[in-house]
Each structure stands twice: as structure tokens, then as C-alpha cells.
Amino acid sequence: MPNTNITPSTEEDSAYVRQQLVAYNAAHVSEALRNRYEELHFHIRNEAGQIVAGVLSTLCWNWVELDILWVDAKERHKGYGTKLLQEVERLAREKECDFIMLNTFSYQAPEFYLKHGYELMTMIENAPTGHQQYYFKKDLIRSEGAEASR
């Protein structure tokens, strides 16, 4: 094996590696899916104009990955999380996605996602130490006409 020199990556190096994987992946998915990538980010402001809730998610190929859903601790139980989640689900259906996936920790909101119809796919113990990490998925119901057109 040749001498290997592992070095920390710059932002430019990381972008190059990401682009290489994107190009490789694109060669393995249908042409209809290849360019389906879109960030879906939304927030809610209070009367004072402060952001009190937000969601960061990404449409990738035929699904949406919900990365972050946050509600300020003082603003919880007002329905903001539900409204943001419903907006992501609405857009995912509108854009003919098959499912939404996400992960959350035991000290965050696993019950919230169960309440909204998400199915637990797996759970990892002791991640982080003393807690669990949950991975959820929700299949989106679509009409047969939409499925046939893909």
C-alpha cells in the first residue's frame, strides 16, 4: 500500500468530495430523479418579529429528509411544530415524494412524531450517552395516477 497522507479538509476540499459522490449517485438513479434536490426551510415569527419556530428539510430524489424542527421552549404547545410539519408533508406530497424520514433524540420529541403518524424504523441506545436516538419514516399516500406518471 502506498504511503497515505490523511489531512483535514478545507471547505473547498469537502465541496469537491460531496460533488464527486453526487455525480456517482446521479449515474445510479433514473434521469427523472437526478436533479431533484431542493431545500425546504420555513419559520414562524411572533408578534415582535422574533423567530420562535422553524424547520430545515431537504427534498432529495423521491423523499424529504427533515433535518431540524425547532420550537422555542416558551412557545411550545401552541401548534407551531404541527403546522411546520404539516407544511413539509404538504409540499412533499405536492412534489410527489414517497416518504419523509427524520431522526430525533429521546429528550426531544419522539412522541410528537408518533402522534403525527411517523413509524419508528430503529432506535440506537446510548446515543448520546444516557439517551436514545430514534429514526422515523412516514410513507406518503399518493394517487395511483401520480405513481404511474413517474
Domain spans in the chain, listed from the N-terminal domain onward? 43-139
Neighbours of 74 (CB within 10 A): 8
Nearest CA to 98 out of 138, 44, 41, 128 is that of 138
Q: Whole-prediction pTM value?
A: 0.84
Q: Which helix (H) or strand (E) holds 91?
A: helix 80-94
SS3 state at 24: helix
Q: Are 56 and 68 in contact (CB under 8 A)?
A: yes
Angle at 79 between CA 73 and CA 82, to 5 degrees: 105
Which cell numbers in the block locate residue 20? 464527486
Q: Which three cell numbers stand for residue 146?
A: 401520480
> What CATH homologous superfamily does 43-139 map to?
Gcn5-related N-acetyltransferase (GNAT) (3.40.630.30)
C-alpha cell read off for 37: 434536490
Read off the pLDDT of residues 124-144 as tens digits, 9 standing for 90 and up.
999 999 999 999 999 997 654
Write out pLDDT tens, residues 80-99.
999 999 999 999 999 999 99
pLDDT band (50, 70, 90) for residue 1: low
